[in-house]
Amino acid sequence: MKAFSYYPNKNNLFILFGVVLLIRIIVFGFYIQKNEYYKQPDSGDYHHAAISISLGKGMHRSDNNKPMFWRTPGYPLYLSWFYQIFGIKSFKFEDNRPAQIASIIIQIILDSLMAILIFFLALLLTKSLAISWITAWIYVIHIGFILSSTYILTETLGLVFIFPFFYYFYKSFGKQNWIKPILLAALFLSLHTWIRPMGQFLSVVSAIIILIADQIAWKVKFKKIALFMLVFFMLIAPWFVRNYNLTGKIFFCPMLGLYLNTFNAPKIVRDTKGIPLRQAIDSQYAIANKEAVKEYLIARAQGKHLVSEMVHMKAALPVILQHPFLFIRDWIKEVLKSTLDLYSSQLVEFAKGSYYYDPLEEFLTEKFTECLYKQKMHPFMRLIVYLELLFAILLWIGLLAGASVFMLYPLIKQFKVSDCIKKVGLLWLKISPMIGAFVIMTGGFGYARLRLPAEPLMTILSLTFWFWLFNKNKG
């Protein structure tokens, strides 16, 4: 069989893997590594935790030996393996470059394997070889996946487990022998959650999808959900136990409080009091710090550790509850930024030299103008921006038109539509809530890369419309 046969075989799948690997190695070796762009704003936290784990101290900060609660241990554990192999040169991030580069190379290899998995995920969902190949090759050249694979961040390692979760989760649909795939789905989602804690939210969304879209008996649906949730929470339970033993509080990751008090509550304070955002943030932190003093004394008396991120919730929540509509407005704005932002906006940050810190606030319109013409950058980088913009336009035409054809139109017609539209509509019903879950969680501060796990699913749904349109016109 020829290497580029339409049907998957060892040759064309190996070519798929080889091309994605080659592109990422070139980008990393000649661009990211050369300029040390792999150090991102959150990289320092993972570095400190990895050193602590390497030294046998567990999930602590290496600089002050305090337990770390605001990060989950999956990625630091991964990074610590390379620190142990290469040896810890010092506690400084930049002094451990060989271990970091090795960890990124393995990330890139794992990321390259995901192109093959995405092909089979698309084939499972659509039964279309054409859609599956196009989705897989888009992954190969997608600037978001290329860049994320080269950072000391959790995105790529999280994808390594979220894509198998998608595959086994959807493989369990409509089957009598659903037990094995749903067990594997729970396993991979739990592994993802050890790396990125948002998996807890995804477990709830997954249960809802089973209820509304899985074509099995209701009794079986509830059994399936119960087994899925039981296995999932059993597999992440050790981290709940660890946190409870240290703090006396039950939580997996307490970042929501700090998240709200850093991004959401200060914007409300700024808008209601007419003060600069920096001053509003400092004001909210002062309230939290004052409360933290009381909480620290109580925790110390009990022989426990203070969870300062939870204290921030006490400062943020009264502001949010007092102005819920302002909170919803700002949350929606950031969700839209996560949904519509260009992945190539990271190239703007590289050009500006601001890639290693997060700004207080970003605006989607400003990011677009900087990407398209305002920020000076290499012409090749500008070309990448425009190519991504063209892809984004086609993607969103497909998504919006597809939602109208496969979701809205059947509702208007009271589901008196063709079997083809019903079949594709069911696919949209299975996938759309999963996509929405990823972007809805980003209402504090929106980044394009936060929607990365949903990007192949968005591509699949968009392509269902384009292929439907092509076949309709052809017929």
**357-376: pLDDT as tens digits:** 778 888 999 999 999 999 99
Residues present in the chain in total:
475
Q: Are 151 and 103 in contact (CB under 8 A)?
A: no
Q: Are 59 and 246 in contact (CB under 8 A)?
A: no
Instruction: Give the C-alpha separation, 195 to 453, whole Å.
Output: 13
Burial class (CB in 10 A: 0-12, 13-18, 19+), 240: middle
Kindly report, residue by residue over 32-68, the tens digit of the pLDDT. Answer: 998 899 999 889 999 999 999 999 998 987 777 788 8
Q: Are 148 and 158 in contact (CB under 8 A)?
A: no
Mean pLDDT of the residues in the chain: 92
Instruction: Give the C-alpha separation, 372 to 350, whole Å.
Output: 15
Q: Are 214 and 224 in contact (CB under 8 A)?
A: yes
Residue ranges in 127-198 assigned as alpha helix (H): 129-141, 143-148, 155-171, 179-195
Those residues whose C-beta lies under 8 Å from the C-beta of residue 143, and which sit 6 or more positions away, are 343, 344, 347, 384, 388
The pTM score is 0.94
Confidence of residue 4 (pLDDT cuts 50, 70, 90): very low
DSSP letter assigned to residue 29: I
In whole angstroms, how large is the CA radius of gyration of the chain? 23
Backbone CA torsion sign across 176, 181, 186, 187:
positive
Kindly report, residue by residue over 118-162, the tens digit of the pLDDT. Answer: 999 999 999 999 999 999 999 999 999 999 999 999 999 999 999
Q: Are 37 and 225 in contact (CB under 8 A)?
A: no
Kindly report, residue by residue over 305-356, the tens digit of the pLDDT. Answer: 988 888 999 999 999 999 999 999 999 999 999 999 999 999 999 888 877 7
Burial class (CB in 10 A: 0-12, 13-18, 19+), 291: middle
pLDDT at 2 over 70: no
Q: How confident is the model at residue 140, as a pLDDT?
A: 97
